[in-house]
Structure 1
């Protein structure tokens, strides 16, 4: 390629970057993965998204919303993505995925002073389970025949209900449970369930090339240990990818 062609390619590349459309990342209050601060969104998953987008040099923004609204926007609006999103069979067809931001077990949590001790999923169905609307756990509970489900706008509200005795159990990820304990919340494990992958769920119109670039950069963060180092800063265990199940 001649010098003129190289110069032309360079400026065409700059022009493409300058006119690239903004990708909108939506998330919720779900510490330590995503949460609001005075300086904007932060958390273990937010840091990963920011590093991915910085490496790709694409325009983006991150907004913290109630989970149900964030999920609905990502499902209905082009160039919108939602995270940290549990990947299950029902959601699989609704989005294009970049994962895993997180690999973890699902777990049912009780108040520290509670005597509730279900040994199986069927036994857990006897109790009122707290969750969030459009959360992966809500889908899990409905799919597995739970009828006593209490919905809240976010995890913090659900945990407050647990501590106040308004729900019997809360369903969340094992790492989130551990962060609750580290923060001094009066909770303990009641029942450990299956493994789950969590990732970035993007609108189906997101170009495949963009999805591939996002995935390649996340793969790099995982391979070079950056993801684990981020988890360590937030007091989280490294991912155990072999235990995940979509």
Structure 2
């Protein structure tokens, strides 16, 4: 190779390593898992997502929006992921998954003043059950034969309806119930389902990025960080 050509090649700037595109996360207002406190996003799921993405070295952005809008975005917008999402058989093939942010039971609860007490799941079908639009429990309740299902716009609206006596029961995370009943006079009535909840990403989501995210979450679980985050929010994992 001629000296001048070699010198020219050596003087070329080195190519910068390729950087992964930003991952856009969408979630709903569902304290204590995801919520706003002023301009700051907080919650047991929000912190897990922030920490695993930092650990994986991937840029990210989180936005809170109504559940139905968030769910649609995760289905149709590349590089978009939704959390905290129940991994149901129906949803399995619709997304690429990173999990679990939480493994939990979903229980039906009532207000203590309602007089409704713990019973068999079959006995709860005579009550008006409230949930929010697009949540996996909306379809689950119908599949389990519940004819009186009241649909609200989001989780806080459903909880307000329960506390105001406009509905009889509502499904809720068992882990969250243990915290919520400290400040709200609620009683457990029956177990509706149990499931893994995680991050659901749009089907074209790059597999190499998903794998890095999964490894980072696995590490947070293994080193006890996930459990510590839950404890910070007054939540206690069952196992």
What TM-score, normalized to structure 1? 0.88
The alpha carbon displacement at 1:195 in A equals: 2.0
In structure 2, stretches of 5+ residues that fail to align are 1-11
2:184 aligns to what? 185
- The corresponding residue for 2:34 is 34
Number of aligned positions between the proteins: 227
Is there any run of 5+ residues in structure 1 with no aligned partner, and where?
A: 1-7, 241-246
SS at 1:90's partner residue? Answer: coil
1:58 aligns to what SS in structure 2?
Answer: coil
* 3-state SS of paired residue (1:217): helix
Q: Following the alignment from structure 1 to structure 2, what is the Cα–Cα distance between the partners of residues 21 and 220?
A: 23
Shift of 1:32: 0.7
How far is the alpha carbon of 1:238 from its aligned partner?
A: 2.2
The answer to whether the 8 A contact 2:175-2:237 is kept is no
- Aligned pairs for 1:23-102 within 5 A: 23-102=23-102
- Report how far residue 190 of structure 1 moved: 1.0
| Structure 1 residue 53, shift from structure 2 partner | 1.1
Q: Report the equivalent of 2:218.
A: 219
Give the greater-gyration-radius structure (CA). 2
1:195-234 deviation per Cα after TM superposition (whole angstroms, max 9, x unaligned): 2111001100101111111111000000000000001101
Matches within 5 A, 1:147-162: 147-162=147-162
**In the alignment, what sits opposite 2:196?**
197
Backbone CA RMSD of aligned residues: 1.6
What secondary structure is seen at the aligned counterpart in 1 of 2:181? helix
What SS does structure 1 have at the residue aligned with 2:210?
A: helix
> Matches of 1:172 and 1:187 in 2, distance apart?
11
Q: 2:207 corresponds to which residue? A: 208
Q: TM-score, normalised by structure 2?
A: 0.90
